[in-house]
Amino acid sequence: MFRRSILALLVIVSTAHLAVAADHPSFRVQVNGTGRPMILIPGLASSGETWTTTVAHYRTRFTCHVLTVAGFASVPPIDGPLLPAVRRDLADYIRAQKLDHPIIVGHSLGGTLAMSLAIEYPDLVGPLVIVDMLPFLAGPIMDAKTVADTKPAIAAMEAYMSKMTQAEWEASASSGASVRYMVTGDDGFETLKAWSQATDRQTMIRALAEVYGTDLRDDIARITAPTLVLGTWRGVHDELAKNKVDVKKADFLENFAAQYAKLPRLHFALHDTARHFIMWDDPMWFFRELDAFFADPSARVQSRGF
């Protein structure tokens, strides 16, 4: 029941300086602030504006390199696999810009990119912040134990979304039904709807298939950087409750702990009321967690938080 309900959610589916850095085909970058480099990656169908309040908070201490991924929120799409292209281009960007072990902050799909970057290029990155993402998202959502288990559900999802008429696709995006549970405020909800409507359809389908077909649970053992993981549970809980499915907070906590078991240097915190866009729902809590982590990442990961 939990799996079927979640699948239903899927398919309703001033500054020190401000500049646009040299873009790569798979993303656009806006640079803002001064200090140690920090790269901020938004999630599925999201603009780099996800991080506007975060940049405002940190721009006097960090140079913030804010990405928007190709095909999302009005950025032109690219052909071929998306996540590997972003990971490769981001590594090239770090080298070309001579960024010294930048902090990597990723929300949702951006968290998958942050983890995979740190796995593939451990010598390039500094501390990681993963905002509300799991190493194997399909685990709880598709009731999957392995990537092989996800293939039928991914194929069904791709077929369903591909067969929608353009009018049906646009109606789904404009309704915001698939994102309402992700944010508390109406302003944030309107923003998410606008980004969904401005996201390329094929990119959306491809990105969903790629992220649900990704399992990093074993590979995160190769991440050497200290990592802060922030999680939520209230939004998904309340959405499932509409179908009389009651998933307890303890179940979410157990799932995070199990999925991140092999990440060596981790501190985890679970917000009790914020939804998926924690940085919008409770920015003060979000900044407190990041500030404590940035002050001494190695010390912070001495406590795993579970």
| Domains delineated in the chain | 2-292 (3.40.50.1820)
Bridge partners for 18 per DSSP:
32
Q: Are 228 and 291 in contact (CB under 8 A)?
A: no
Measured CA to CA in angstroms, residue 84 lies from 25, 87, 105, 194 at distances of 12, 5, 18, 26
Measured CA to CA in angstroms, residue 104 lies from 49, 58, 59, 210, 234 at distances of 16, 14, 15, 21, 25
For residue 295, give both structure tokens. 């002050």
Q: What is the pLDDT of residue 22?
A: 52
For residue 4, give both structure tokens. 């079927």
The closest of 73, 96, 62, 95 to 27, measured between CA atoms, is: 73
Q: What is the pLDDT of residue 10?
A: 45
Longest CA span, the chain: 53
Q: Residue 98: what residue type?
A: K
Q: What angle do CA 31, 106, 133 make, to 5 degrees?
A: 165
At 28 the three-state DSSP class reads strand
Q: Are 82 and 207 in contact (CB under 8 A)?
A: yes
At 131 the three-state DSSP class reads strand
pLDDT tens, N- to C-terminus, the chain (306 residues): 444 444 444 443 433 334 444 557 899 999 999 999 999 999 999 999 999 999 999 999 999 999 999 999 999 999 999 999 999 999 999 999 999 999 999 999 999 999 999 999 999 999 999 999 999 999 999 999 999 999 999 999 999 999 999 999 999 999 999 999 999 999 999 999 999 999 999 999 999 999 999 999 999 999 999 999 999 999 999 999 999 999 999 999 999 999 999 999 999 999 999 999 999 999 999 999 999 999 999 999 999 999
pTM for the full model? 0.92
Torsion sign over Cα 106, 107, 111, 112: negative
How many CA atoms lie within 13 Å of 266's alpha carbon, on the beta-carbon side?
A: 23
Q: Are 173 and 14 in contact (CB under 8 A)?
A: no
In 97-221, which ranges are continuous DSSP H helix? Answer: 109-120, 138-141, 147-163, 166-175, 186-197, 201-212
Total residue count of the chain as it appears in this document: 306
Q: What is the pLDDT of residue 25?
A: 85
| CA separation for the pair 245, 253 (Å, rounded) | 17
For residue 296, give both structure tokens. 């001494």
Neighbours of 79 (CB within 10 A): 11
The closest of 91, 89, 136 to 112, measured between CA atoms, is: 136
Q: Residue 180: what residue type?
A: R
Name residues whose C-beta falls within 8 Å of residue 80's C-beta, 6 or more positions apart in sequence.
Answer: none
